[in-house]
């Protein structure tokens, strides 16, 4: 097989005109892009006619898969009725109202108001601004820092990227900005000390958080933001008891917890919210992605009544609540959000996820036995395989060898799209996937891993 076949016309036009996110753009001229043409169910097809199982739901978002007729109908109907309106300056529209009501109904903690954005990054950016606004309203002008975690992913706007705890989002971008603190990543496999139990590790995480808070001064810290399961940082599932321990420390110091449910919301972990699966009790919540099953862009920030009342007080002092996005509460997106939630409920998508979870678990455990895989981790229908040079010592490959990207390329050549997060291969299939399709996805995953193993062995890439 040719490594780099000649580029098609579309691929050439693509490279001439698009700046691609999260892509080694210096290599694009030789590798080209995969131009997707259409999608149906869990499958997507590129413009050269090749089909793939979309094992990542796009970017962890297309929970209902592709081409759902009910979603399409809802979009057409809303476009005909009111294709755009805003909710600034005391205007509103029915889809925004209805979706806000729905979100209040299904929220994992009491929620009073919903603020709409167009993306997860904007939701998290808004969370920070709202925390500052609230503390100004409450006469606590110094309580402004936000704690995040190493390996967290919260998006790419200036503040969301600062909250993100990944070097590639900071190096070269003049980030993070100040007022952002990063505490430890709760990944026992990678950051546990030799012989340390999960319980001891969790206690160390809590102590480290406490030390950070006491060093900085609790009266300078507004909030901590956390994904229930860390996604882009490698699908990190904290040990049992982690959130209970963390939350006790936060409560002691009057620091509110923000749950970033952008990936974990709407059934992904086997409950409506990752907070429920992981025993988190957040004060406020960010949502996006599966909120509309990615049929249109939408993010949301959900806040309780006491927090909302602080905004009301501050609005009274300042004259208005001066924050909002042109497309926040877009009627098309909100109509699709309402329809997606209705479908999740009517078709019992969460029940379906739960029925598939034992299959997912069995297949992930088998992936964990593969010679390339150091740890296979999973929660609901999201998981990852961390590829290592040496299983016993957990030694990683030299990142310059690009073992993860090579493995995901080989998996793709077998007709399955998964995502390399460095040398960790993530899997997050559409929640509507059937058992047979899920098994087929794992078969292709395994074949790709076998080929990656052969490539690693041939190239002697395990050398220390």
Ligand X SMILES: Cc1ncc(COP(=O)(O)O)c(C=O)c1O
Q: What DSSP string runs through 181-243?
A: EEE----HHHH--TT--HHHHHHHHHHHHHHHHHHH-GGGEEEEEE-SSB-TTT-B-PPTTHH
Closer to ligand X at the Cβ: 124 or 271?
124
- For ligand X, the closer of residues 121 and 333 by Cβ is 121
Distance of closest approach, residue 314 Cβ to ligand X, in angstroms: 26
Q: How far is the CB of 141 from ligand X (least distance, A)?
A: 28
Cβ proximity to ligand X, 288 vs 300, nearer residue: 288
Q: How far is the CB of 289 from ligand X (least distance, A)?
A: 7
Number of residues that this document lists for the chain: 464
Taking CB under 6 A as the criterion, the residue among 74, 262, 420, 452 binding ligand X is 262
The torsion angles phi and psi of 3, rounded to 5 degrees, stand at -70, -45
Nearest-angstrom CA–CA distance, 259 and 242: 14
Position closest to ligand X via CB: 120
- Dihedral sign, Cα of residue 408, residue 412, residue 418, residue 419: positive
Two structure tokens written together for 132: 């500052």
- Binding to ligand X in span 435-454, by CB under 6 A: none
Question: Smaller CB distance to ligand X: residue 124 or 277?
Answer: 124
Contacting ligand X within 192-251 (CB under 6 A): 227, 231-232
Cis-peptide, bond into residue 432, ω within 30° of zero: no
55 vs 192, beta carbon nearer ligand X:
55
DSSP bridge pairs for 93 = none
d(CA 256, CA 242): 16
Q: How far is the CB of 227 from ligand X (least distance, A)?
A: 5
- Residue 334 corresponds to which tokens in the numbers above? 């909100």
**Least distance from C-beta 56 to ligand X, angstroms?**
11
Would you say 119 or 247 has its CB closer to ligand X?
Answer: 119
User: In whole angstroms, what is the distance from residue 295 CA to residue 289 CA?
Assistant: 9
Please identify, using beta-carbon distances, which residue of 64 and 456 lies nearer to ligand X: 64
CB of 157 to ligand X, least distance (A): 7
Count of chain residues binding ligand X (CB under 6 A): 15
Distance of closest approach, residue 451 Cβ to ligand X, in angstroms: 28
Provide the token pair at 285: 């919540």
Q: What residue spans of 369-459 are helical by DSSP H?
A: 403-413, 435-458
Q: Which is nearer to ligand X, 124 or 269 (CB)?
A: 124
Distance of closest approach, residue 348 Cβ to ligand X, in angstroms: 25
Please say which residue, 135 or 264, places its beta carbon nearer to ligand X.
264
- Using CB under 6 A, pick the residue from 44, 288, 356, 382 that binds ligand X: 288
Contact present, 416 and 52 (Cβ < 8 Å): yes
For residue 263, what are its two tokens? 């990936």
Which one of residues 263, 372, 427, 432 is an interface residue with ligand X (CB under 6 A)?
Answer: 263
Q: CB-wise, 135 or 164, nearer to ligand X?
A: 164
* HSE, side-chain direction, 13 A CA sphere, residue 83: 3
* 271 near ligand X (CB under 6 A): no
| Residue 153 or 397 with smaller CB distance to ligand X | 153
Which 93-132 positions form the footprint of ligand X (CB under 6 A)? Answer: 119-121, 124
What angle, rounded to 10 degrees, do the helices at 403-413 and 435-458 form?
130
**Closest separation in Å from C-beta 61 to ligand X:** 8
- Binding track over 44-63 against ligand X, x by CB under 6 A: ---------------x----
Is the separation of the CB atoms in 447 and 408 below 8 Å? Answer: no
Sign of the torsion angle spanned by Cα atoms 277, 349, 59, 408: positive
Q: How far is the CB of 280 from ligand X (least distance, A)?
A: 13
- Looking at 68, 125, 184, 260, which residue binds ligand X (CB under 6 A)? 260
DSSP states along 41-106: BTEEEETTS-EEEETTHHHHT-TT-B--HHHHHHHHHHHHH-S-----TT---HHHHHHHHHHHHH
**CB of 162 vs ligand X, minimal distance in Å:** 13
Give residues 147-186 in contact with ligand X (rule: CB under 6 A).
Answer: 153-155
For binding to ligand X (CB under 6 A), which residues are involved? 59, 119-121, 124, 153-155, 227, 231-232, 260, 262-263, 288
């Amino acid at each position: 097989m040719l490594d780099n076949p000649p580029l098609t016309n579309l691929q050439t036009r693509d490279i001439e005109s698009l700046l691609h996110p999260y892509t080694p753009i210096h290599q694009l001229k030789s590798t080209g892009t995969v131009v997707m043409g259409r999608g149906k169910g869990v499958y997507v097809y590129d413009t050269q006619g090749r089909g793939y199982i979309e094992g990542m739901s796009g970017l962890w978002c297309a929970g209902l898969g592709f081409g759902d007729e009910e979603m399409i109908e809802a979009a057409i109907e809303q476009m005909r009725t009111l294709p755009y309106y805003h909710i600034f300056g005391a205007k509103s529209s029915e889809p925004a109202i209805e979706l806000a009501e729905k979100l209040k109904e299904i929220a994992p903690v009491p929620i009073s108001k919903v603020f709409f954005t167009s993306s997860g990054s904007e939701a998290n950016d808004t969370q920070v601004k709202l925390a500052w606004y609230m503390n100004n309203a409450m006469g606590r002008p110094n309580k402004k820092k936000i704690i995040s975690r190493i390996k967290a992913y919260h998006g790419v706007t200036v503040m969301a990227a600062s909250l993100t705890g990944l070097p590639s989002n900071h190096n070269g971008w003049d980030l993070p900005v100040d007022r952002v603190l990063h505490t430890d990543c709760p990944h026992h496999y990678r950051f546990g000390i030799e012989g340390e139990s999960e319980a001891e590790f969790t206690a160390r995480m809590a102590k480290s958080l406490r030390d950070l808070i006491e060093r900085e001064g609790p009266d300078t810290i507004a909030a901590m933001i956390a994904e229930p399961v860390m996604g882009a940082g490698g699908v990190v599932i904290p040990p049992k008891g982690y959130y209970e321990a963390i939350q006790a420390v936060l409560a002691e110091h009057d620091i509110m917890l923000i749950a970033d449910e952008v990936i974990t919301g709407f059934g992904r972990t086997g409950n409506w919210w990752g907070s429920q699966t992981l025993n988190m009790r957040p004060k406020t919540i960010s949502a996006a992605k599966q909120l509309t099953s990615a049929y249109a862009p939408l993010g949301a920030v959900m806040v309780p009544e006491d927090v909302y009342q602080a905004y009301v007080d501050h609005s009274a002092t300042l004259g208005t609540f001066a924050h909002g996005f042109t497309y926040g509460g877009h009627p098309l997106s909100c109509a699709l959000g309402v329809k997606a939630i209705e479908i999740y409920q009517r078709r019992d998508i969460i029940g379906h996820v739960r029925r598939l979870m034992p299959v997912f678990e069995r297949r992930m455990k088998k992936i964990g036995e593969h010679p390339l895989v150091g740890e296979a981790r999973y929660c609901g229908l999201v998981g990852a395989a961390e590829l290592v040079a040496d299983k016993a010592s957990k030694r990683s490959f030299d990142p310059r060898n690009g073992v993860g990207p090579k493995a995901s390329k080989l998996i793709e050549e077998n007709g399955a799209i998964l995502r390399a997060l460095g040398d960790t291969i993530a899997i997050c299939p559409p929640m509507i996937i059937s058992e047979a399709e899920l098994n087929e996805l794992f078969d292709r995953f395994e074949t790709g891993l076998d080929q990656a193993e052969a490539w690693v062995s041939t190239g002697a890439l395990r050398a220390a």
